[in-house]
Chain A
Amino acid sequence: MAEIIIKNVRKEFGDFVAVRESSFTIEDGEFFMLLGPSGCGKTTTLRMIAGLELPTSGEIYLDGEEIGQKPPSERDIAFVFQMFALYPHMNVYKNLSYPLVSQGMPRAQVRAKVDEVAGILGIRDILKKPVGGLSGGDRQRVALGRAIVREPKAFMMDEPLGALDAEFREHMAEELRALHDRMGATTVYVTHDQLEAMQMGDKIVVMNNAVVEQFGTPQEIYDKPATMFVADFIGSPSMNFLRFDGQVGAGATSLTLNDTQIAMPQIRDGASGNLVLGVRPEHIRFSDQGAYRAEVLATEYLGTTQIVTLDTPNGEVKARIGSDQPAKAGETVALNFNADTLTVFDEASGHALRSELNEEVLAHG
């Protein structure tokens, strides 16, 4: 299996820069997510790892060997596309065996290998069927099987679940992840769906506008976003931004928001001007007392929890609280923020200020 290192990789298409100098490491056996909105450069990055595009500059290492300029056939990487590409005139068995036969593998060995892979994917009983009549799920399994039979060093997947409906997507996501856990193959997976990335990934790279915004474990990225883009893109509802004009000095443990002192993790690098306090919806609590007050605009019931939209002196905010707690549109409540979890951003640069909470993450991000 494989470790993949991306080092200062850049890709231009004419005048257009698809990926700016990007660096990150995909460790052996990881399920690694490339996450971002459309046009952010995530698919181009994936295609460069697979060799379908060549980087304009920079290096790509596969198990220590520099492969950046090599053709795909010399990389031993399997690619699973968004629309499963199967040979329509062949049955399932032929579709699965084709990559092996074309490598010149002996017949008996091919049969054993296909049988093994069909077993892993639970498709032994459809081996004789033509692919034309298969359900979406089975087609997807066959497409995966074709990638797996070759035992490549790594798998590249470009939104393989994008075309499926919500309920089935969730099911296939679990199946894919379970398959990965059984096989332990390094997998690089492109998606624009933050929940899919959080759910399936060991690590996530968040990209925007051809730039890597942050790289880390799902929980790190969620708790300690390096930029406002990441804070907004990850989480549903996303992180609240309370904008204020003011200053926080190095060493400060609180800030002033609309004349109210708000405690926060100790700041390492101070800043002043247009600042933003970032707070996740579940880190807001209601109380009867407190100086920071807000009006309830709307509530959304979600079973155990509810989302409450509030009008604060610093803009609209969403809080996630238990659905057993009373909240009615029109009421005024005081808000408490969970001090340990707050992030302060500099609005102009969009970057998080270094603090006790995030300094380790920002140091290596």
Chain B
Amino acid sequence: MAEVRLQNVSKSFASTNAVVDMDLTVPDGAFVVLLGPTGAGKTTTLRLIAGLEKPGTGSIHIGEMDVNGLTPAQRDVAMVFQQYSLYPHMTVRDNLAFPLRSPILKTPEEEVARKVQEVAEVLHIPHKLDNKATELSGGEMQRVSIGRALVRDPSIYLMDEPLSSLDAKLRADLRVELKRIHAELAATLLYVTHDQIEAMTMASHVGVLDEGKMVQFGTPREIYENPQTAYVAVRLGQPRINLLPAGVLGEDTPTGAHQTGLRPENIRIGDGADAQVMRVEHLGDQTRLHLKVGAHDLITLTDPHTSLSPGETLKVAAQNPIFFDAAGARVC
């Protein structure tokens, strides 16, 4: 495993700047998740590291090696794609063994057998080894395609939304599994997603991307508790952070503050500004109150068994608000 370093990397396609002046260090042994909406440059970043795209400018190092000009095969990376790509006519065993038997690796057969067995156990599919790939469920197929990356011992694993095509339950299981696998293998992993739950629960570090730029990099807790921009603040947290014109709830605002950011759990009910209940959403473990303060929408959480109903009024106040200026940058 190795540290991966991007310095001033830019990449454009015709008139689109997909990645802009990106600095990113994936520490050895880290699980880094790149988070952002469609078009933020996540997948391009991954493909640049894999060697599937050439950077316009900047340098990429894997360990001590400058990989510019190296082919994907020479870079010693393993990539997992969103759509599982297995050889349908082969068994699970042969699919897993395939990367090891490549002309570059030429692994001895008993080594191949040992590796395949080991990875199958990590992924909980040893009983499926002799099945054809087409006889598997979607979740099993995706596990096999992750397994095809894991059999190798590359410098870094690159994963492009590997769970997005799976249903919610399976996704939840595989999140825990991937995190466990990462810990067991002490692997370096760079993972791309637009799913904030995946980013928060699995990452050792999250990089938030916006239009090809890295806007914040830190632990999930740092990103959640201390977002540097309004854009970053809305990326993590469900329901998302409330953004209101500064001062609407009567809170003290620092100079330059244009917007107040208030997590739903940081709204105190009982005193402060008048709010009207628009809708009460019972989600079981929590209940969301949709409120209107003047013309502004506000979402807060309340007791699951609240007796509040639409039309009622209550008073709300801000607790631990954070502030952003007109450009969306954090104001202290």
Say if the beta carbon of A108 comes within 8 Å of chain B: no
Contact A235 B285 (CB under 8 A): yes
Contact B285 A165 (CB under 8 A): no
Chain B residues, CB < 8 A from A309 = 176
Contact B37 A302 (CB under 8 A): no
| Contact A222/B282 with A300-B201, A303-B224 known, Cβ cut-off 8 Å | yes
Shortest Cβ distance from A218 into B: residue? B282
Query: What's the Cα separation between A198 and B197 when bound, in Å?
Result: 19
The total of interchain contacts (Cβ-Cβ below 8 angstroms) comes to 70
Contact B200 A303 (CB under 8 A): yes
Chain A residues, CB < 8 A from B221 = 301, 323
Say if the beta carbon of A298 comes within 8 Å of chain B: yes
Contact B168 A236 (CB under 8 A): yes
**In-complex Cβ contact of A166 among B176, B194, B237 (8 A):** B194
Contact A301 B284 (CB under 8 A): no
Chain B residues, CB < 8 A from A219 = 282, 284, 287, 304-305
CB distance from B106 to the nearest CB of A (A): 37
Interface residues in B145-193 (C-beta closer than 8 Å to A): 168-169, 172, 175-176, 179-180
Contact B176 A298 (CB under 8 A): yes
Shortest Cβ distance from A194 into B: residue? B168
Interface residues in A289-348 (C-beta closer than 8 Å to B): 298, 300-304, 307, 309, 320, 323
| Chain A interfacial residues counted at CB < 8 A | 32
| Contact A199/B281 with A298-B180, A301-B200 known, Cβ cut-off 8 Å | yes
Chain A residues, CB < 8 A from B281 = 198-199
Contact B282 A236 (CB under 8 A): no
Query: What's the Cα separation between A307 and B176 when bound, in Å?
Result: 10
Contact B284 A223 (CB under 8 A): yes
Contact B37 A167 (CB under 8 A): yes
**In-complex Cβ contact of B283 among A195, A217, A303 (8 A):** A195
Chain A residues, CB < 8 A from B197 = 302
Which of B194, B200, B285 has the most chain A CB within a 10 Å cutoff?
B285
Which of A217, A298, A303, A323 has the most chain B CB within a 10 Å cutoff?
A303
Chain A residues, CB < 8 A from B265 = 304
Query: What's the Cα separation between A71 and B236 when bound, in Å?
Result: 49
CB distance from B329 to the nearest CB of A (A): 22
Query: What's the Cα separation between A326 and B59 when bound, in Å?
Result: 41
Query: What's the Cα separation between A323 and B236 when bound, in Å?
Result: 15
Contact A300 B175 (CB under 8 A): yes
Contact B172 A236 (CB under 8 A): yes
Say if the beta carbon of A234 comes within 8 Å of chain B: yes
Produce 1/0 per residue, B191-207, CB < 8 A to A. Answer: 00011010011100000
Produce 1/0 per residue, B256-294, CB < 8 A to A. Answer: 000000010100000000000001011111010000000
Say if the beta carbon of B220 comes within 8 Å of chain A: yes
Shortest Cβ distance from A298 into B: residue? B176
CB distance from B136 to the nearest CB of A (A): 18
Say if the beta carbon of B38 comes within 8 Å of chain A: yes
CB distance from B21 to the nearest CB of A (A): 26
Chain A residues, CB < 8 A from B283 = 195, 198-199, 218, 222
CB distance from A183 to the nearest CB of B (A): 15
**In-complex Cβ contact of B220 among A167, A223, A301 (8 A):** A301
Query: What's the Cα separation between A127 and B175 when bound, in Å?
Result: 45
Query: What's the Cα separation between A215 and B168 when bound, in Å?
Result: 23
Query: What's the Cα separation between A198 and B283 when bound, in Å?
Result: 5
Query: What's the Cα separation between A177 and B194 when bound, in Å?
Result: 25
Contact A300 B194 (CB under 8 A): no
Say if the beta carbon of A282 comes within 8 Å of chain B: yes
Chain A residues, CB < 8 A from B284 = 198, 218-219, 222-223, 234-235, 280
**In-complex Cβ contact of A181 among B38, B176, B279 (8 A):** B279
**In-complex Cβ contact of B282 among A181, A198, A302 (8 A):** A198
Shortest Cβ distance from B304 into A: residue? A219
CB distance from B89 to the nearest CB of A (A): 28
Chain A residues, CB < 8 A from B224 = 303
Contact A304 B263 (CB under 8 A): yes
Query: What's the Cα separation between A219 and B201 when bound, in Å?
Result: 27
CB distance from A51 to the nearest CB of B (A): 31
Chain A residues, CB < 8 A from B37 = 167
Chain A residues, CB < 8 A from B180 = 298
Contact B194 A302 (CB under 8 A): no
Query: What's the Cα separation between A235 and B284 when bound, in Å?
Result: 7
Chain B residues, CB < 8 A from A181 = 279
Say if the beta carbon of A360 comes within 8 Å of chain B: no
Query: What's the Cα separation between A301 and B220 when bound, in Å?
Result: 8
CB distance from A53 to the nearest CB of B (A): 26
Chain B residues, CB < 8 A from A301 = 200-201, 220-221
| Contact A300/B285 with A177-B279, A193-B168 known, Cβ cut-off 8 Å | no
Chain A residues, CB < 8 A from B194 = 165-167
CB distance from B107 to the nearest CB of A (A): 32
Shortest Cβ distance from B301 into A: residue? A304
Query: What's the Cα separation between A34 and B328 when bound, in Å?
Result: 41
Chain B residues, CB < 8 A from A238 = 169
Interface residues in A204-248 (C-beta closer than 8 Å to B): 217-219, 222-223, 234-238
Contact A320 B285 (CB under 8 A): yes
CB distance from B118 to the nearest CB of A (A): 21
Produce 1/0 per residue, A142-167, CB < 8 A to B. Answer: 00000000000000000000000111
CB distance from B117 to the nearest CB of A (A): 23
Chain A residues, CB < 8 A from B282 = 198, 217-219, 222
Say if the beta carbon of A281 comes within 8 Å of chain B: yes
Chain B residues, CB < 8 A from A177 = 279
Interface residues in A172-187 (C-beta closer than 8 Å to B): 177, 181
| Contact A302/B200 with A195-B283, A217-B282 known, Cβ cut-off 8 Å | yes
Could you jot down 16 A-B contacts, CB within 8 Å? A165-B194, A166-B194, A167-B194, A218-B284, A223-B304, A235-B284, A238-B169, A280-B284, A300-B176, A300-B200, A301-B200, A301-B221, A302-B201, A303-B224, A304-B263, A320-B285
Besides the contacts A165-B194, A300-B175, what 4 more A-B pairs have beta carbons closer than 8 Å?
Answer: A198-B281, A222-B283, A222-B284, A300-B179
In the A-B complex, list the 8 residue pairs whose CB atoms are closest, starting with the nearest: A222-B284, A300-B201, A219-B282, A282-B285, A218-B282, A303-B224, A198-B283, A304-B265
**A interface residues (Cβ-Cβ under 8 A, vs B):** 165-167, 177, 181, 193, 195, 198-199, 217-219, 222-223, 234-238, 280-282, 298, 300-304, 307, 309, 320, 323
